[in-house]
Amino acid sequence: GENVEQHPSTLSVQEGDSAVIKCTYSDSASNYFPWYKQELGKRPQLIIDIRSNVGEKKDQRIAVTLNKTAKHFSLHITETQPEDSAVYFCAASKTGGSYIPTFGRGTSLIVHP
C-alpha cells in the first residue's frame, strides 16, 4: 500500500518568514495530493490540493509543488502569520474507485510574532 513520509515534524519560524513542509510517497499510481490544516482541538480542513497533471498550484500565500518523478510534493507558506500556527498534514491517494488517502504524520508549524 501507499506510504507517506512527512518532514519536518516540527517547524518554528518568525512571523513574515516562509515555511516549507515536504512529503514523499511510495505508490507511483497516486495522483491526488491534498494538504490539511488542523488547529489545536479542531477538525482537519483542506487548504490546498494538487493533481498529478499539474506541477504547481498557488492560492494567495500558499503554494504546493509536485515532482512526480521523485515522488515528492511540498507545501510552501509565504509571509507567515501567527494564525498559520497549526499542524499540517499531507496525504496521497488514487482517484477513481474507492478514495482512500494515506496521511503523513503531520508537521507542527509554530509562527512566532
Partner 1 sequence: EAGVAQSPRYKIIEKRQSVAFWCNPISGHATLYWYQQILGQGPKLLIQFQNNGVVDDSQLPKDRFSAERLKGVDSTLKIQPAKLEDSAVYLCASRSSGTLAKNIQYFGAGTRLSVL
The span from the CA of 58 to the CA of 48, in Å, is 8
By CB under 8 A, the residues from 22 to 81 that bind partner 1 are: 32, 34, 36, 42-46, 49
Q: Name every residue whose Cβ is closer than 8 Å to that of residue 90 and which is 6 or more positions away in sequence.
A: 4, 6, 21, 23, 33, 34, 35, 73, 75, 103, 104
Q: For residue 88, which of 17, 26, 1, 4 has the smallest C-alpha distance?
A: 4
Output 18 or 95, the one with its CB closest to partner 1.
95
Q: How is residue 51 written as a grid cell?
A: 493533481
Helical H runs in the chain?
none
State in angstroms the smallest separation of the CB of 18 from partner 1: 23
CB of 79 to partner 1, least distance (A): 26
Nearer to partner 1, 19 or 48 (CB): 48
95 near partner 1 (CB under 8 A): yes
Q: Which residues bind partner 1 (CB under 8 A)?
A: 4, 6, 9, 32, 34, 36, 42-46, 49, 89, 91, 93, 95, 98-101, 103-106
